[in-house]
Amino acid sequence: MNALRLTFGRWFGLPDPQAAEALPVRLGRRAAYSPSPAHIQSFDQPLLWVVLTLVLWGVVMVYSATIAMPDNPKFANYAHSHFLIRHLASISIAIIAAIIAFQVPVEVWERIAPWLFVVSLLLLVAVLLPFVGKGVNGARRWISLGVMNFQPSELAKFAVLLYASDYMVRKMDVKEDFFRAVIPMGVAVALVGLLLLAEPDMGAFMVIAVIAMGILFLGGVNARMFFLIATILVVAFGLMIALSEWRRERIFAYLDPWSEKHALGKGYQLSHSLIAIGRGEIFGVGLGGSVEKLHWLPEAHTDFLLAVIGEEFGLVGVVLLIGLFLWLTRRIMHIGRQAIALDRVFAGLVAQGVGIWMGFQAFINMGVNLGALPTKGLTLPLMSYGGSAILINLVALALVMRIDYENRRMQQGGRS
């Protein structure tokens, strides 16, 4: 397990436990412990530019994927810019919320973490109530707020992230005791999972489970306990699939999307996603030139935005996008590593949890679009159409930038 932690740490920039006491946190070529610290920026500008690049690229692709939708009788009353305007409005609200979130000290987030978790539970219950939750295609996942539809499962990801980080800090002295350290956290995640499965939203539950597991791992939970929890989760997800006919059908469709049975059913989205990516070849057909988005590929602006990117920008565009998300994930994990090196465990776990969240969800979405994973209904972070997802994603990243800002203040000899 120590070798696994060391390998994991080297990739994501985590501290070596054997060198924790003498760990130099460096910015550029000068060590943070230099008696005369160099002038450094107050926040991580490269991280900000990468986030803005992904958001703006997402705006262009959402417009490209939806510009022809009014030609469909289902959307005949919509203007060609309908989805673009709503997406820009959501981004504007999200940027304002992110600026506000950046102003909040990390210690305040730590204090409100349990209360935010309770609020997320109440909203997950509320979305299941008649006349409160909004149902689409048999799923009740949204609460209508007039200007936008809010998805409580997105808030639940953020709330569980904060709660798990706060929980691990409080349980550091008993993290070797399975019943005292793990069971309460397991019950909390299981409760969230039951509410999400009632919607149903298994994809969000998977992301939340991975976030919680990642924080337990990074928090130093005993290796035997970690693998026991991982085994329980794998068995639980296996049973969810085995006991649900429509989930089994999705797996069968994923294994053979071209069969006569699945091509026009559960495998329809996947087969047309693969056609779109295949048409793109190396350099793509050009921005706006996608054919699959013309009513062939459902939900092209949400779950299958990568397929449109692959068709219009080709392999080059897909590889560039993967590179941006890899850099984003690695940079966020590095910020978490710096916070832990400065003895800010809660801040470090939160940042690393955000890195796990963004990286894992992007990995699942890309895997689904490329036919490597079964369809899960998860959006591409920062890019896909969806107000609540963009809102919570940008707030979470603003918190990471706040953590980095406080790290830099401490390295300069100031207060966080």
Range scoring the smallest mean pLDDT among 28-32, 50-54, 381-385: 28-32
pLDDT per position as a tens digit, 46-82: 999 999 999 999 999 999 999 888 877 777 778 888 8
pTM of the model: 0.84
Cβ-in-10-Å burial (0-12, 13-18, 19+) of 280 comes to buried
Structure tokens at 392: 């919570």
Cβ atoms of 365 and 380 closer than 8 Å: yes
Task: Give me the torsion for CA of 219, 224, 228, 229, rounded to 10°.
Answer: -10
What's the CA gap between 205 and 370, in Å, rounded? 22
Structure tokens at 349: 């776990």
pLDDT per position as a tens digit, 96-109: 999 999 999 999 99
Domain boundary pick from 243, 273, 302? 243
Reported as a pLDDT band with limits 50, 70 and 90, residue 414 is: low
**Positive/negative CA dihedral, 103, 357, 21, 166:** positive
- Bridge partner list, 133: 143
Please state the rounded mean pLDDT for residues 337-343.
93
- pLDDT > 70: percent of the chain: 85
Residues 253 and 366 both lie in one domain = yes
Residue 94, pLDDT > 90, answer yes
Which has the closest alpha carbon to 102: 350, 344, 401, 404?
A: 401
DSSP class of 413: T
Please state the rounded mean pLDDT for residues 324-344.
95
Residues 288 and 172 both lie in one domain = no
Cβ-in-10-Å burial (0-12, 13-18, 19+) of 101 comes to middle
Structure tokens at 187: 């019950």
Does residue 46 form part of some domain? no
**197-211, 330-344, 365-379 — which one is most confidently predicted on average?**
330-344
* Radius of gyration, CA atoms only, the chain: 22
Residue 415, pLDDT > 70, answer no
- Supply the range of the domain harboring residue 222: 111-243
Residues 329 and 346 both lie in one domain = yes
Residues 90 and 144 both lie in one domain = no
Residues 382 and 292 both lie in one domain = yes
Q: Which residue has the tokens 């062939």?
A: 296
Q: Tell me the one-letter amino acid at 112.
A: I
The pLDDT, as a whole number, for residue 175 is: 59
Residues 160 and 60 both lie in one domain = no
- Bridge partner list, 143: 133, 150
Does residue 38 form part of some domain? no
The pLDDT, as a whole number, for residue 37 is: 40
Residues 274 and 222 both lie in one domain = no
Cβ-in-10-Å burial (0-12, 13-18, 19+) of 234 comes to exposed
Residues 211 and 177 both lie in one domain = yes
What's the CA gap between 311 and 309, in Å, rounded? 5
Residues 344 and 327 both lie in one domain = yes
Residues 135 and 96 both lie in one domain = no
pLDDT per position as a tens digit, 281-324: 999 999 988 988 888 888 788 889 999 999 999 999 999 999 99
Number of domains making up the chain: 2
Residues 287 and 216 both lie in one domain = no
**Positive/negative CA dihedral, 353, 358, 359, 364:** positive
